Structure 1
């Protein structure tokens, strides 16, 4: 217990830098939406023994299966693994994953050494509902979001030492993902409703989410333009849903994943298969990808869902359904399939996250080969990711 608490404090600086630094598309905001291309890794090879098709030089392994003990531990992995993130832990790291079941969702963690050996696994959140996505904070906590009407955000400790805390000030709505912006000292929040909104939470004190102001994005119905923020009068949504409290709030069709880096916020909307891009510094927004605007070569990315960024400045977007792909949207404006999960068409890909050194990618097939919440599989991919 004492060791974990010490390491949590010791790695905040390095881990926060790895998560929130980088140079994703600096100066390229609101260029034309990405178009199909070969991408940086080339064509997929035939699927491996685990059913994962990858480019040359990459390999996969299973690190956890729902209902089964995580290798080398007695901890049984949760059902329906969803959103995830990695946290530096001394010379190794921790992968945190939500459980999207209702009731008894919550979140769990797997501890890995510098060589990738699994050294522990445990529960970090219990007794919650349908924990879908979420996001990490610069002070090394995991925000686990409930994807239910009037759902909550829970702040959890990846080391499993501190008790999880419900953050009521962050609003009650159908929460999906969260992304922290240490420059403006806010947390962006997506909403999984057909007429959902994009929010940001402005803490009273940066580093504490106990109190603050919930705001909603105000913009026109166009796919690009300028935006502002307005306070949500009643974040608790006692009488009126948050998304219906402010006139002029921009509507998004099923908000999903959210990622921040280098003054830019990217988030996905599954209802229209779009990846949106907000320039937080100059107050403008546009489309990074829209499958209805693909000009040639088919639509490699459909069913957009969770999203993360790599050290190279590329976005990795997971599909909910589609052809069970993780696609890469490169800093050069190409979109290409990076991997495909075969034989699991009744599932969705969730929780993509890179290890702090950028050498390993973690993700889950939420329902695995069984097509049920009890069949989830969590994977690790290693290979020559560009930096």
Structure 2
């Protein structure tokens, strides 16, 4: 249909629209000026959050969320190094390391919210200084392709790591840098007669029992995908969530729940104390506990929700049900004792095991 506006009027109208658009654009750019930095594990977790969670928060609050990737130990070290002038606003840490961060004064109390009230009581850290964003446990993962080819039965015990048939085929994450490695060692220590305060039995028996089978001690789980595909890794500590993420990539791995129990591993979040955007950081922490956010990371990142109101369908529902079953014999560690002794354990591990 031909326009009924005179040319001059149309030009004036288009100019006004352009000016309004420019003002809106400038306003949006100003709103986008606030950037929130969040420390968390890279890989599948980072991808799930950056693609399916953070965009909704950014749209809601006119902010930008940038991930600082790293292991829990890496993120803690960054937060500690910049304690007086934090470079991050929120951080994700494995539960044991989060307890340490709180003790260092790196976290501020999370403010009350409906979402905080909805999460499982066990996911609320003492005094609400942090909150759990996903539930899981460390058990045993194995190379399904190799096990099938060799005719091996699926593992059933932490002591399978000491089976001579796995000589040169065990890959273990370093106790000094990985929760997975620490969990595996502490369960072995318990079987040897130790506890979370006394690791002497574990350190004494490791060089004779599991040590000879270890091909490599790795700082994180990043290399596992490659080591499974090349046929180097048969057995390693890992979570069902991490196993699911590898399977999505076509890596032939399976999870096995040890008869002695897996180790509860919750990923917690805290708002970093003295950060430059405390209000926005608190809003992000609250948003990440919401049913919507948790449902999306379950669906796209296999992260098990801490908010029971998060809808779970299909494979997600099956995962939640399976985790609930495995949680029945999962072991909770004494993190206060562990954190008090861990620096000495790390030094001993590096000197006597990973020498």
TM-score by length of structure 2 reads 0.26
Task: Give 1 or 2: higher helix fraction.
Answer: 2
> Which one has a bigger Cα radius of gyration?
2
More contact order relative to length (CA 8 Å, sep ≥ 6):
2
TM-score by length of structure 1 reads 0.24
Task: Give 1 or 2: higher strand fraction.
Answer: 1
